[in-house]
Amino acid sequence: MMKTNKINELFANRGDKKFLSLYFCAGCPTLEGTGDVIKTMQRRGIDFIEVGIPFSDPLADGPVIQSAATRALKNGMSVRLLFEQLKAIKDDVTLPLILMGYLNPIMHYGIEAFCQSCVEAGVSGMIIPDLPFKDYQDTVKPIADRYNLRVIMLITPETSEERIRFIDEHTDGFIYMVSSAAITGAQHSFDDAKQQYFRRINEMQLRNPRMIGFGISNRQTLKAAQDNAAGAIIGSKFVTLLNEANGDADKALDRLFEALNA
């Protein structure tokens, strides 16, 4: 039995609460803003945070997050610098931090070194959208388990039931349920096909809790996600607002909460 980490504790103690998780790209809009954004989110009641590692070729991301990654790289953000910034605020952060990044920069850093740095920086888990499941099982999971880190896997409307059950059996923490097979980006509402997909996954009665992400930007999409899972993950909408607020996370959160309640 793996010992728990902050992700497990959060979900184990949630009761009826519906979570809200936010994504932002480290190093955008400003290189030095990472720590302030995280601490502000924590103070404003966000449940857990996905910190994006910028990469030059982010395949699953829409234009908003792609452009944030480009800007962050231009600003000089790197995996090494991100870990330094997270280490500097480690003692102030009590909520789970999850790093979301593509395989290339993580492999370049070294899987073992990456996991070790995660622990030193107070990170609880990682999401690697382009990590093949076989590589996860054979290479990444054994190392992540040793460092008590959770590797969160994504499922989409196209993922087969067999594969979803396999992911549920071999992962721990939560399952990231992508609302559509398209790239990230805000949507106005979830159509019947998406609602049907949410219901289908609900009926599978999976062991792991699920969070729904991609396309959540208003009250309608937030409610649909929270009605069908443990909560919602918002990325593009918050990244846009953070850019518009020149990195002022308080201002961006004010505008986000306004949009989610409108």
Could you give the residue numbers annotated as active site? 50, 61
Per-residue buried b or exposed e for 153-170, using 16+ beta carbons within 10 Å of the residue's own CB:
bbbbbebeeeebeebbee
Rounded Cα gap, residues 14 and 235, in angstroms? 22
Structural tokens at position 15: 């009761």
- Residues 66/58, Cβ–Cβ less than 8 Å: yes
Rounded Cα gap, residues 124 and 8, in angstroms? 9
- Residues 77/35, Cβ–Cβ less than 8 Å: no
Rounded Cα gap, residues 187 and 15, in angstroms? 29
- Locate tokens 């009250």: which residue? 219
Rounded Cα gap, residues 154 and 177, in angstroms? 6
H/E segment holding residue 99? strand 97-100
Beta-carbon neighbour count of residue 1 at 10 Å?
3
